[in-house]
């Protein structure tokens, strides 16, 4: 879903206005939502872990002043008006290692969550693979000392970007959004980033498989196909690199013989 960056703000404002009207037609069915009870019990906020494909669906039940990490990309520009229209606080950057503005954005989000506001990260963004959780959500939980709450949000009437790496889901008017929350994941004193990341990934995969089995399987199939293409390119590159020295050696042998 690539558009020229100059057009993005105009398109974004139009999408935000349309989304606000459409949102009035949505209905939401929530399961295992422990957010309020958790806040009363701990006196702390939380970090929501969602899939990149569910970002638009997440806006259907966004909490006021929730901080949401948005990638510094052209596609990310389109989300900004939607987040602001939903009374969320967009924070530019990506949670993946080495991504643009990632460290600064994560620091900003940690400070925001420490003030008592929820934080939201699309944990497999910005480039996937789909469902592969990056370390940002674990770092947020550990630094802000808040629990992670995984959640999958399935619009029952939707349009899916079939060729996008995340299979982004666009909500259609009058859809029902099925939101299933996982049990809170706490960052204990001995917890590691890798352990927390693995727990979040397992929780999201299990819930999507339960709530949206066909889409979960298609997403996994796409990941396997992407990995196979990447492996094939790597092999092709290695083969070409090995062939070059042989041709050079032949040329040198001809020169030496002459």
Which helix (DSSP H) or strand (DSSP E) does residue 227 occupy?
Answer: helix 213-257
Domain ranges, residue 112: 8-211
Q: Is residue 182 part of a domain?
A: yes
Residue 140 buriedness (CB in 10 A; 0-12 / 13-18 / 19+) = buried
Helix axes 193-211, 136-144, angle to 10 degrees: 120
Q: Is residue 225 part of a domain?
A: no
SS3 75: helix
pLDDT for residue 14: 79
pTM as predicted: 0.84
DSSP state of 185: B
pLDDT for residue 192: 95
How many domains would you assign to the chain?
Answer: 1
CA torsion angle for 86, 119, 60, 131 (degrees, to 10)?
Answer: 130
pLDDT for residue 57: 95
Instruction: List per-residue pLDDT tens for the chain, 258 residues long.
Output: 444 444 456 776 777 888 889 999 999 999 999 999 999 998 999 999 999 999 999 998 888 899 999 877 766 777 888 898 889 999 987 655 555 557 889 999 999 999 999 999 999 988 899 999 999 999 999 999 999 999 999 999 999 999 999 999 999 999 999 999 999 999 988 999 999 999 999 999 999 999 999 999 999 999 999 999 988 887 776 666 565 554 434 344 334 433
Structure tokens at 40: 């009363």
Q: Is residue 224 part of a domain?
A: no
pLDDT for residue 179: 97
Q: Is residue 55 part of a domain?
A: yes
- Rounded CA-CA distance 157/169 in Å is 10
Q: Is residue 26 part of a domain?
A: yes
Q: Are 171 and 157 spatial neighbours (Cβ–Cβ below 8 Å)?
A: yes
For 190, list phi and psi in degrees, rounded to 5.
-105, 5
pLDDT for residue 94: 63
Helix axes 8-23, 74-85, angle to 10 degrees: 40
Q: Is residue 144 part of a domain?
A: yes
CA 82 to centroid of chain Cα atoms: 16
Q: What angle do CA 212, 218, 219 make, to 5 degrees?
A: 85
b/e per residue, 155-176, with b = 16+ CB within 10 A?
A: beebeeeeebbbbbbebeeebe
Helix axes 213-257, 193-211, angle to 10 degrees: 120
Q: Are 134 and 95 spatial neighbours (Cβ–Cβ below 8 Å)?
A: yes
CA 218 to centroid of chain Cα atoms: 17
Rama region for 182: left / alpha / beta (φ>0; ψ in -120 to 50; rest):
beta
DSSP state of 72: S
pLDDT for residue 16: 81
Q: Is residue 155 part of a domain?
A: yes
Q: Is residue 195 part of a domain?
A: yes
Helix axes 136-144, 102-114, angle to 10 degrees: 40
pLDDT for residue 5: 46
């Amino acid at each position: 879903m690539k558009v020229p960056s100059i057009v993005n703000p105009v398109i974004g404002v139009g999408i935000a206005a349309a989304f606000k009207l459409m949102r009035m037609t949505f209905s939401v069915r929530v399961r295992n939502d422990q957010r309020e009870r958790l806040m009363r019990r701990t006196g702390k906020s939380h970090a929501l872990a969602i899939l990149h494909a569910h970002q638009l669906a997440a806006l259907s039940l966004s909490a006021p002043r929730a901080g949401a990490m948005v990638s510094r990309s052209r596609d990310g520009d389109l989300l900004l008006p939607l987040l602001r229209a939903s009374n969320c606080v967009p924070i530019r950057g990506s949670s993946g290692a080495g991504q643009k503005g990632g460290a600064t954005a994560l620091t900003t989000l940690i400070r925001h969550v420490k003030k008592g506001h929820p934080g939201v990260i699309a944990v497999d963004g910005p480039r996937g693979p789909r469902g592969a959780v990056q370390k940002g959500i674990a770092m947020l939980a550990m630094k802000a000392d808040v629990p992670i709450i995984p959640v999958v949000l399935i619009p029952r009437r939707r349009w899916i970007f079939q060729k996008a790496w995340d299979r982004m889901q666009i909500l259609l008017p009058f859809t029902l959004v099925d939101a299933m929350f996982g049990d809170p994941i706490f960052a204990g004193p001995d917890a590691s980033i890798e352990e927390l990341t693995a727990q979040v990934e397992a929780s999201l995969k299990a819930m999507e498989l339960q709530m949206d089995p066909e889409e979960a399987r298609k997403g996994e199939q796409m990941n396997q196909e992407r990995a196979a293409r990447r492996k094939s390119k790597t092999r092709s590159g290695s083969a070409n690199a090995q062939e070059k020295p042989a041709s050079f050696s032949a040329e040198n042998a001809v020169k030496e013989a002459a």
